[in-house]
Structure 1
Amino acid sequence: MHAITKILLVILLGMLPYSLLAQKKLMFFQTDWGNQLPMDEFLAKVKSDGYDGIEVWMPGSDEARATLKNGLDKYGLKVIFLNGTNKSLPFEQSLRAYEKGLQEIIGWNPVKINNHTGSDFWTEEQNLEFLKIADRLAKASGIPIIHETHRGRFSYTLPAAVSMLEKFPELKYNLDISHWMVVHEKLIQKTDSQLQKIMPSVEHIHARVGFAEGPQVNNPAAPEWKNALKVHLDIWEEIIRNSDDETFTITTEFGPPPYLPTIPFTNKPIADQWEANVFIMKAIQERFAND
């Protein structure tokens, strides 16, 4: 390319909106947390509402696994599987069960595997052993294996997540920042210096809005949660736009009761879980609508 042409191209690129320079494809996954529908009906609803796939734990029975596999094929949906550390087992047994679970999931060739890893009662060195197993299997299989920021796990606080990343730079996170909002009793801003340290390692997002006193607002569409919603959207957008991944995965993860508040004595939910998840998907899509 001629030198002058190169200079003009650089100038023109500099004048273009950032969104046009860094277009992202967003893939949305619906959680099956709290689902009471038959699998076929659930998957049909997922597809109808515009999701690309679902995030689920591996079913326990062969029959349930076959039903899931057939349904995913039928509706053209992708899957992210959850895997976790069994904290009720002794450490060594838990390590073996963790690895076995990952190996079973890898055979399905999912988009990603999201882990509830380790325990806040174990040492950093013990929790690191789980990360090493996941990293080894991820490299061998080519399937991204990520670790969710979650209460009760090694990543139960933002400083703990930063500390582990410094010890194990290969670590990749699924950011569910709603947990840290309540753990730290504040709305953590995207400019937070600690949060900035882990943002580049985030490869998946659990999109749920938390607040200083809980991991889930009662209804993200309610005007009283406008600021909390904006804080979360600002964080998610910055992570997605700065990610090297051309396709970024997001699971909408508002949960059922008791995560979802209920009316006393009746246990009737005060909002609709499904509607909350669809709302948050659309809110994220709006942030990228002009890309």
Structure 2
Amino acid sequence: MLRSQWTGPASLENLVTQTVTDGFDGIEGPIPQSVAEQQRYKKLLADHELFFIAESTTGGDFGSPSDWWIPRPDKTIADHLSDLRWTVEHAAEMGALFVSTMCGYDAWSWSQNVDFFGQALELESSSGITISFETHRGRSLFNPWITRDLLNEFPQMKLTCDFSHWCVVCERLIDSEWSILELCAERAMHVQCRVGYPQHAQVSDPRAPEYTEALTAHERWWDLIWKLQAKRGMLQTTMMPEFLWDGYMQTLPYSAMPVADVWDITCWMAQRQRKRFMEKSTVEI
């Protein structure tokens, strides 16, 4: 059970302390740019026996103070591949389990997507570093159907499944696409367990009774992933509760006060899914 770097303090020392104190097994986040910071981060992770998943975000404006993660229309396929390649080239040195990438662009044509993912998978093969591609709004895997088609085109392609994004893109809970969910589960490398609903990629608080249907639906999809991961013999499964502040957490008008506490929800979700996984693994899986 990992936590997102984006929900923690900016200080690496404080981030690691919070991660350990609240019972997480590791961190998912970007690799620092400087060699000195990479070495410091790697030592902190090793000293506390924490796992690390290297996050790669491609094609954004990384100098922007806001929305830097949004893909820019002027970024080429080569630009996206260059961003991904940088993370892949540094992942082994950081001791990362694998690279999880929010990549591509929702406006790309089919041929552009085939070009990008073909080259990305060649990079995976030549580097020996596993790459897991995230389902995310604004990106190539922004809806179930393009994801299905790309998975069929590339049998070796693996997924970081964050189905919360598809709920808002499709404006419904996505049990209607069960055959695609099964295909995704067969390729699932990693799960980001945010809960979305038809009008937003993040419920304000998954513990609230008004979101029971959405929480139950997501847990049904995660159970499917666990079942099919076990069936194909995966010895390690990773999950990250990714509830976020910026734009994800609803706020009160005028005051901009968040309506719930993101870190409290994150810890609750981690504990809940850890307990559910242990029950599933001993009874069903």
- 1:52 and 2:28 equivalent? no
| 1:247 matches 2:247 | no
CA distance in 2 between counterparts of 1:131 and 1:105 reads 19
Task: Kindly state the Cα deviation for residue 34 of structure 1 after the two structures are TM-superposed.
Answer: 4.0
Per the alignment, residue 221 of structure 1 pairs with 207
Deviation at 1:38, TM superposition (A): 1.9
SS of the aligned residue for 1:94 comes to helix
Structure with greater strand percent: 1
The counterpart of 2:4, out of the listed 23, 31, 35, is 31
Aligned-residue offset at 1:257? 2.9
**3-state secondary structure, aligned to 1:129:** helix
- Alpha-carbon RMSD across the aligned residues, in angstroms, is 1.9
The alpha-carbon deviation at position 37 of structure 1 amounts to: 4.4
Matched residue pairs, number?
Answer: 264
After superposition, the Cα gap between the structure-2 partners of 1:101 and 1:144, relative to the gap in structure 1 and judged at 3 Å, is closer
User: After alignment, is 280-289 or 154-163 more displaced?
Assistant: 280-289
**Does the 8 Å CA contact 2:243/2:262 hold for their aligned counterparts?**
yes
Which residue of the partner structure matches residue 264 of structure 1? 253
- Name 2:63's counterpart in structure 1: none
Contact residue 116 and residue 153 of structure 1 kept, 8 A: yes
Q: TM-score, normalised by structure 1?
A: 0.84
Distance 1:282 1:191, change over 3 A: farther
Displacement after TM superposition at 1:141 (Å): 4.1
Matching residue within 137, 140, 161 for 1:175? 161
CA-CA distance at 1:190 after TM superposition: 8.2
Which secondary structure does the structure 2 equivalent of 1:259 belong to?
coil
For residues 274 and 84 of structure 2, the distance between their equivalents in structure 1, rounded to whole angstroms, comes to: 35
Residue aligned with 1:257, SS? coil
Aligned to 1:24: none
Counterpart position of 2:42: 69
Larger relative contact order (C-alpha < 8 A, sep ≥ 6)? 1
State the one-letter code of the partner of 1:286.
K
Letter in 1 for 2:174: I
Alignment correspondent of 2:62: none
Q: Using the alignment, how far apart are the partners of 2:235 and 2:254 within structure 1?
A: 48
Maintained 8 Å contact 1:204/1:248: yes
Q: Is the 8 A contact 2:132 2:157 kept in 1?
A: yes
1:99 aligned residue: 85
Structure 2: which amino acid aligns with 1:260?
M
In the alignment, which of 174, 180, 185 is matched to residue 171 of structure 2? 185
Question: Counterparts in 2 of 1:122-137, with a 5 A limit?
Answer: 122-137=108-123
Offset from partner CA, 1:234-266 (integer Å, 9 cap, x none):
110121122121211111101113211112222
| Residues 80 and 103, structure 2, Cα contact 8 Å, conserved in 1 | no
Q: 1:78 to 1:65 in 2, by over 3 A?
A: same
SS of the equivalent of 1:288 reads helix
- Cα deviation for residue 69 of structure 1 reads 1.6
List per-residue Cα deviations over 1:177-235 (Å, max 9, x = no partner): 00001111111128722222222011110010000000000011111111111111111
Q: Structure 1: how far apart are the matches of 2:83 and 2:211? A: 40
Give me the identity figure in percent: 28
Residue ranges of structure 2 left out of the alignment (5+ in a row): 60-70
- In the alignment, what sits opposite 2:131? 145
1:143-165 CA-to-partner distances (Å, cap 9, x unmatched) read: 32100001111111101100111
Q: Verify: 1:111 aligned to 2:100, yes or no.
A: no
SS in 1 for 2:52: strand
Other-structure match for 2:141: 155
User: Distance between the aligned counterparts of 2:118 and 2:179, measured in 1?
Assistant: 27
Q: In the superposition, relative to structure 1, how do residues 81 and 190 fare at CA in structure 2: closer, same or farther (>3 Å)? A: farther
Q: Give the C-alpha shift of residue 134 in structure 1.
A: 3.1
Q: Secondary structure at the match of 1:82?
A: strand
Q: CA deviation at 1:276?
A: 1.1
Residue type at the aligned position of 1:287: R
Q: 1:171–1:201: 8 Å Cα contact kept in structure 2? A: yes
Q: How far apart are the structure 2 equivalents of 1:249 and 1:190?
A: 26
1:6 is matched with none
Structure 1 unmatched runs, 5+: 1-27
Stretch of structure 1 that moved more, 32-41 or 268-277: 32-41
